[in-house]
Structure 1
Amino acid sequence: MACGGFNSNQNLVSTLCRFVGETVTIFTKSGGVSGCGFTGTLFGINNEFCQLVTDFGTAPANPLGGPNSSCCTNLYPEHNCHRQTSVGSVCDIPIDKIAAFCHNAV
């Protein structure tokens, strides 16, 4: 029995579940840039994959429509209602490819 370590993927999954919603860094058993780790908010986890939100999308320009809506241009004709938007990004990491993960102590 390993002292303080993970002796199965299920133990790792159980531990990762405690950090859903927290920012973590996960290092994978891979080379190149992917071996440098992935940092993001742990969003979901199952016995096969964990999912990190690595970049959040932008908020809507206004509650009534998108940045190019007539509401924006009609209400604020002097403003430039066009803005850069991002849909964010998600990283799915296979559980059996995790080498280590880092999290805050508190």
Structure 2
Amino acid sequence: MACGGFNSNQSLVHSLCRFVGETVTVFTKSGGVSGCGFTGVLFGINNDFIQLVTDFGSSPAHPIGGPNSSCCRDIDFDNRRREPFSLGSVCDIPIDKIAAFCHNAV
């Protein structure tokens, strides 16, 4: 984690460190869909990138196990298709591509 040692982006990195574990929105210096911003939980920071968890994975169908705990597309007991579980997603954003960083005031 870059919260102790800083590079040329030290002010931004230092500010971002305070929001690890919080939901934030990051706008990047880019066009298209990526220019609309990324919202997620700030998960990690180093001198080059930040990591946002933008989608959390789904929980198991049955936490103890058994016939309904499979994470794969499968046939249920009444022959209905089950959708696969989501694994979630993480977005790595280069520090030097951040145009704006939005967070809650409190």
Question: TM-score, normalised to structure 2's length?
Answer: 0.76
Q: How does 1:57-96 map onto structure 2 within 5 Å?
A: 57-63=57-63, 64=65, 66-67=69-70, 82-96=82-96
Partner of 1:40: 40
Structure 1 SS opposite 2:12: helix
CA RMSD of the aligned region, Å?
2.3
Which structure has greater helix proportion? 1
Cα distance in 1, alignment partners of residues 24 and 38 from structure 2: 8
Q: Deviations over 1:53-80 (max 9, x none)?
A: 0000001122325337xxxx8xxx67x7
Kept after mapping to 2: 8 A contact 1:67/1:82: no
Cα distance in 1, alignment partners of residues 38 and 51 from structure 2: 11
Q: Deviations over 1:8-57 (max 9, x none)?
A: 41111111011001000000011111111000000101001000000000
Cα distance in 1, alignment partners of residues 84 and 102 from structure 2: 32
Partner of 1:54: 54
Letter in 1 for 2:61: A
Larger of the two Rg values belongs to structure: 1
- Percent sequence identity over aligned pairs: 74
Equivalent residue pairs, number: 93
